[in-house]
């Protein structure tokens, strides 16, 4: 499997370097990304099993003000779940949805067909939860400020399409009270995406 990944990366680097690259200044793009976002901490009873990560989905809008400087806005979401055992005969699951709403700046380190970049974003994270088991009920909701610092690489596929991969770290203030056992969802995320350029 790792050899397939290495071969794909080499192929994309070669394709990106050979692709004629129209300047991106003044252009925008819409990107669909998928990956994982693993939270830092959870609180629960001693019999609980915590899994505070999951599959992440995200939409990102990017606009290049200059050839290597852009503004970006991202909306993402991830499921987390806490498997709770309150006693020998009662079981339940706390389902938690975590959304981030972020905006910031991106700096491309190259202007060619292969574009490594770094980015930084500010925004907030919304968390809400639902307990299911013998009866369902909401477990609360909260909103907290957040920052994200990361980077990645994009590969241009002609004049309209791009493939990319990125990673980053979310940092945030702890929630006012645990929701579904989660106090804080700070942690790393990784994603891959496909995007379409607009304009130009």
Reading the block at residue 48, the tokens are 């609980």
Residue 44 has pLDDT above 50, yes or no: no
Are the CB atoms for 71 and 108 separated by under 8 Å? Answer: no
Q: What is the pLDDT of residues 107-144, one digit of tens each?
A: 999 988 999 999 999 999 998 887 777 777 777 889 99
Name the strand (E) or helix (H) holding 130. strand 114-132
In this predicted structure, the answer to whether residue 183 has a pLDDT above a threshold of 60 is: yes
| Residue range 2-198, CATH number | 2.40.160.20
Of residues 193 and 15, more confidently modeled: 193
Rounded to 10 degrees, the C-alpha dihedral 49/101/153/171 comes to -50
Strands 28-38 and 187-198: antiparallel
pLDDT of residue 96: 81
pLDDT recorded at residue 199: 86
The predicted model gives 38-61 an average pLDDT of: 66
pTM > 0.95: yes or no: no
Check residue 167 and give its pLDDT. Answer: 96
For 78-128, give the DSSP string. EEEEEEEE-SSS-EEEEEEEEEEEEEEEEEES--SSEEEEEEEEEEEEEEE
Predicted local distance difference test score (pLDDT) of residue 22: 84
pLDDT exceeds 50 at position 171: yes
Q: How many whole angstroms separate alpha carbon 69 and alpha carbon 172?
A: 26
Closest CA to 61 of 190, 198, 165: 198
Q: Can you tell me whether residue 8 is helix, strand or coil?
A: helix
Neighbours of 198 (CB within 10 A): 13
């Amino acid at each position: 499997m790792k050899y397939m990944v290495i071969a794909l990366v080499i192929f994309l680097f070669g394709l990106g370097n050979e692709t004629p690259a129209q300047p991106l200044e003044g252009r925008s793009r819409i990107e669909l990304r998928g990956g994982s976002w693993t939270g830092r901490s959870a609180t629960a009873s001693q019999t609980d099993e915590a899994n505070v990560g999951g599959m992440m989905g995200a939409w990102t809008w990017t606009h290049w003000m200059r050839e290597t400087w852009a503004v970006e806005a991202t909306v993402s979401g991830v499921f987390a779940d806490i498997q709770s055992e309150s006693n020998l005969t009662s079981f339940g699951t706390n389902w938690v949805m975590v959304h981030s709403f972020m905006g910031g700046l991106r700096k491309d380190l190259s202007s060619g067909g292969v574009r490594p970049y770094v980015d930084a974003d500010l925004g907030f994270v919304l968390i809400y939860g639902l307990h299911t088991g013998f009866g369902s009920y909401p477990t609360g909701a909260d909103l907290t400020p957040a920052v994200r610092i990361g980077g990645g690489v994009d590969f241009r596929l002609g004049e309209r399409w791009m493939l990319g991969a990125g990673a980053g770290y979310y940092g945030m203030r702890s929630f006012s009270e645990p929701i579904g056992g989660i106090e804080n969802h700070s942690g790393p995320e990784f994603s891959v995406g496909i995007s379409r350029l607009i304009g130009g």
